[in-house]
Amino acid sequence: MSGEYRSRVERKQAAKQAKQKKGKKKKGVSWLRTIAIAILLMIVIGAASGVAAFAYFVKDAPPLDEAKIKDPLSSTIYDMDGKKVAELGGYKRTYISYKDVPKVLENAVLATEDARFYEHHGIDIVRLAGAVIANIQEGFGAEGGSTITQQVVKMTFLSSKKTLERKAQEAWLALQLEQKYSKQEILEMYLNKIYYSDGIYGVARAAEYYFGKTNLKELTLPEAALLAGMPQSPNRYNPYDHPEAAKKRRDTVLSLMAKHGFISQEEAEKAKQVPIKSMLTERKKPQSSVPYDAFIDEVIKEVTDKANVNVFEDGLKIYTTLDQEAQSYVENLLNSDQYFTGKKDLQSAIALIDTKTGAIRALGGGRNRDHVEFGFNYAIQPVGQPGSAIKPILDYGPAIEYLKWSTAHIIVDEPYTYSDGTPIRNADRRYAGPVTMRYALTWSRNIPALKTFQAVGKERAKEFANRLGMGFNEVEEAYSIGGVKRYVSPLQMAGAYSAFGNNGVYTKPYAVTKIVFPDGTEMDLKPKPKRVMHDYTAYMITDMLKSVVRSGTGQSANIPGLELAGKTGTTNYGPSGAQFGLSEGDVPDSWFVGYTPNYTAAVWTGFSKKSSTASLDKTEQRISRSLFRALISEIDDGSGEFERPDSVVKLPIKKGTNPPKLASKYTPADEITYELFVRGTQPTEVAKDEPKELPAVKDLTASYDGAANTISVSWSYNEQTDNTIFEVRVKDDQGHTETITTKDVGVTITNVTPGASYTIAVYAKEDDRISKPAITSVRIPGGEQPPTPDDESGDDDNNGAGNGNNGTNENNNNGNNTNGNNGNNQNNGNDNENSDDGGDDGNDGDEGTGQENGDDGTTPPTTPTNPQSGNGYNAGMKNGNRQ
Q: Active-site positions?
A: 113, 388
Integer Cα distance of 327 and 353 in angstroms: 11
Q: Are 119 and 127 in contact (CB under 8 A)?
A: no
Instruction: Compute the CA torsion angle 65, 67, 70, 75 (nearest 10 deg).
Output: -90
How many CB atoms are located within 10 Å of the residue 808 CB?
Answer: 13
How many CB atoms are located within 10 Å of the residue 811 CB?
Answer: 9
Integer Cα distance of 240 and 377 in angstroms: 13
Integer Cα distance of 824 and 812 in angstroms: 10
DSSP letters, 104-134, are HHHHHHHHHH-TTTTTSSS--HHHHHHHHHH
Integer Cα distance of 728 and 733 in angstroms: 17
- 132 contact partners, CB below 8 Å, separation of at least 6: 145
CA 66 to chain centre: 51
SS3 347: strand
What crossing angle do the helices spanning 221-229 and 103-113 adopt, rounded to 10°?
40
How many CB atoms are located within 10 Å of the residue 528 CB?
Answer: 6
Amino acid letter, 391: K
Q: Are 719 and 860 in contact (CB under 8 A)?
A: no
Q: Are 681 and 404 in contact (CB under 8 A)?
A: yes
- 564 contact partners, CB below 8 Å, separation of at least 6: 546, 549, 557, 558, 594, 595, 596, 632
Start-end of H helices in 194-287: 203-211, 221-229, 243-259, 265-272, 276-279
Closest CA relative to residue 436, chosen from 464, 462, 411, 469: 411
CA 37 to chain centre: 68
Closest CA relative to residue 225, chosen from 203, 242, 209, 205: 203
Q: Are 809 and 733 in contact (CB under 8 A)?
A: no
Residue 575: phi and psi, rounded to 5, are: -60, -25
Task: Look at strands 75-78 and 317-320 and give their pairing.
Answer: parallel
Residue 139's alpha-carbon distances to 144, 161, 214, 367, in angstroms, are 12, 16, 42, 46
Residue 293's alpha-carbon distances to 287, 301, 863, in angstroms, are 11, 12, 87
Helices (H) and strands (E) in the chain, counts: 23, 28
